Amino acid sequence: MLFQVIASHSWETCEGNSNEPSPMSERQRWVEGNEKVKVIGAWGNHLRHTHFAVVEANDYDAIHELLRPQGLKGTVEVLPVGDLISTRKTSGNWGK
């Protein structure tokens, strides 16, 4: 199942403002996914302190586990989504 993820934090909770921030390699490890969550794509709007992603997983709990660190700094929205391109092609309407 596909999910859209929007994770935001404020400048006050941004680790980039910390005197001893954790390494970027650790902070953005989630974009690699894990055994239960495949990250299809991930994008960031750094001026808004917001990340966007499309992930694939069998259940919400797996996504929650992967993104828990982001939720401790701000908000994380996880919404189920459908593949409109695949649906259009499957229905025979592609190119019409």
| Mean pLDDT, contiguous 10-residue spans, the chain (96 residues) | 96 82 80 97 95 97 94 94 93 93
- DSSP state string for the chain: -EEEEEEEE-TTT-GGGSSSPPPHHHHTGGGG--SSEEEEEEEEETTTTEEEEEEEES-HHHHHHHHHHHHTTEEEEEEEE--HHHHHHHTT-TT-
pLDDT for the residue 14 = 82
Q: Which domains does the chain have, with CATH numbers?
A: 2-90 (3.30.70.1060)
Considering the entire predicted model, what is its pTM? 0.83
